[in-house]
């Protein structure tokens, strides 16, 4: 376990740390909410009254991911969509594709992008199977545009509310969940001076990570969708390889003391070992009986807890969302603006 000093240091810095990454997103062990989105689950009433195990990563919210997006100069600006081509044959959006500000056009862009992304994921996975190999470029580009749309709606609640009212009920609920999750983590974000300090690498294969999540679920009973959402929030599925500013390491962001207690002798940088340790820690903290308590122990932020549960809910509703999130990129909020530091 972490020492008492480590715990107090973590708690003292949580408010100022906020969510470091915008792309790898979330927190010491999380990612974002939206004011116009469906209300996030309520926080556990007894979370602050219980004494959980020390937080794996110090409770920061957003080391590399959703909570700190990086520059999207194409957001509400940038390159216009290619003209010609029919809707079903149009080329995938460019990395800096313009984000519409008009609610009707925004709703149409989100609906079209999500449909095309799901179709591309079906092609990649064999319509409901397990993905083979790396993601096709069309999946990467559609996922990036979807992510940028949600980052825009998280910052523009008025436009988002009017746009979501035009969507089919199922997509509107998904949009509100994603926007709410992102917004919550963005509120925790703490700008950094230099995004170049983040070391970015290609993530392990989506299929390999899925095996790790399900193996850990079988051993500790922690739902694989929750474990996937934690890694998504913490390091965008392992894209961010740098330690946090307080020393949390690995794809699930563990502090040395917590890793020693829950890592079971594994390698903190190994995805399989890290996922198993996270499941071990969450189980010891109350999961699956009380996910809110367990996730609050992982990162002392209710916004973080809400974000993880909202993303997990979307994966449960449609497994294709796991593959969509897998292809969301790393954004970092700097003192000079946002920067995207991974992807095309």
Locus of tokens 């609906």: 111
Q: Other C-beta atoms within 10 Å of 295: how many?
A: 31
316, 320, 296, 319: which is closest to 306 by C-alpha?
296
d(CA 57, CA 161): 34
More confident residue, 1 or 257: 257
Question: Where do runs of H (alpha helix) occur along the chain?
Answer: 4-17, 103-125, 137-155, 157-164, 169-186, 206-220, 224-235, 256-262, 271-284, 291-298, 302-317, 320-326
315, 264, 229, 265: which is closest to 29 by C-alpha?
229
pLDDT of 26 over the 80 cut: no
So what's the pLDDT on residue 58?
54
So what's the pLDDT on residue 41?
39
pLDDT of 20 over the 80 cut: no
pLDDT of 38 over the 80 cut: no
So what's the pLDDT on residue 93?
97
**Encoding tokens for residue 319?**
């497994």
Please, which pLDDT band fits residue 276 given cuts at 50, 70 and 90? very high
So what's the pLDDT on residue 190?
81
d(CA 259, CA 273): 10
So what's the pLDDT on residue 323?
98
Q: Calculate ∠ Cα 177-183-188, nearest 5°.
A: 135
More confident residue, 325 or 39: 325
Contact 91, 85 (CB under 8 A): yes
Please, which pLDDT band fits residue 148 given cuts at 50, 70 and 90? very high
Rounded mean pLDDT, 298-304:
96
Q: pLDDT tens digit string along 49-97? A: 344 566 776 544 333 334 333 333 233 433 344 444 445 557 999 999 9
So what's the pLDDT on residue 28?
46
So what's the pLDDT on residue 54?
67
Q: pLDDT tens digit string along 309-333? A: 999 999 999 999 999 999 999 999 9
Rounded mean pLDDT, 175-180:
98
pLDDT, the chain, mean: 82
So what's the pLDDT on residue 250?
98
Q: What percent of the chain has pLDDT over 70?
A: 75
Q: What percent of the chain has pLDDT over 90?
A: 66
Cα–Cα distances (Å) from 259 to 154, 202, 276, 320, in that order, read 33, 24, 11, 31
So what's the pLDDT on residue 197?
81
């Amino acid at each position: 376990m972490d020492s008492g000093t480590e715990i107090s240091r973590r708690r003292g810095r949580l408010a100022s740390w906020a969510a470091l990454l915008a792309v790898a997103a979330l927190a010491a062990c999380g990612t974002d909410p939206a004011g116009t989105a469906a209300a996030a689950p309520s926080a556990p009433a007894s979370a602050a009254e219980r004494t959980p195990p020390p937080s794996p990563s110090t409770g920061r919210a957003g080391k590399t991911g959703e909570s700190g997006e990086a520059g999207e100069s194409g957001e509400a600006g940038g390159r216009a969509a290619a003209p010609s081509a029919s809707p079903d044959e149009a080329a995938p959006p460019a990395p800096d594709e313009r984000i519409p500000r008009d609610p009707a056009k925004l709703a149409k862009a989100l609906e079209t992008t999500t449909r095309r992304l799901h179709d591309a994921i079906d092609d990649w996975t064999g319509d409901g199977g397990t993905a083979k190999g790396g993601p096709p470029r069309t999946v990467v580009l559609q996922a990036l545009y979807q992510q940028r749309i949600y980052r825009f709606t998280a910052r523009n609640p008025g436009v988002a509310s009017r746009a979501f009212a035009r969507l089919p009920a199922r997509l509107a609920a998904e949009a509100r969940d994603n926007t709410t999750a992102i917004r919550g983590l963005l509120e925790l974000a703490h700008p950094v001076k230099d995004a170049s300090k983040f070391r970015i690498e290609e993530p392990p294969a989506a299929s390999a990570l899925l095996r790790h999540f399900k193996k850990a679920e079988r051993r500790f009973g922690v739902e694989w969708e929750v474990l996937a959402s934690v890694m998504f929030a913490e390091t965008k599925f392992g894209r961010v390889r740098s330690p946090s500013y307080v020393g949390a390491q690995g794809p699930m962001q563990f502090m040395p003391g917590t890793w020693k207690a829950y890592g079971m002798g594994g390698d903190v940088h190994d995805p399989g070992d890290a996922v198993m340790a996270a499941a071990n820690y969450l189980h010891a903290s109350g999961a699956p009986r009380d996910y809110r308590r367990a996730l609050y122990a992982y990162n002392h932020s209710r916004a973080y807890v809400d974000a993880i549960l909202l993303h997990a809910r979307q994966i449960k509703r449609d497994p294709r969302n796991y593959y969509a999130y897998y292809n969301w990129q790393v954004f970092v909020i700097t003192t000079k603006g946002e920067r995207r530091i991974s992807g095309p």
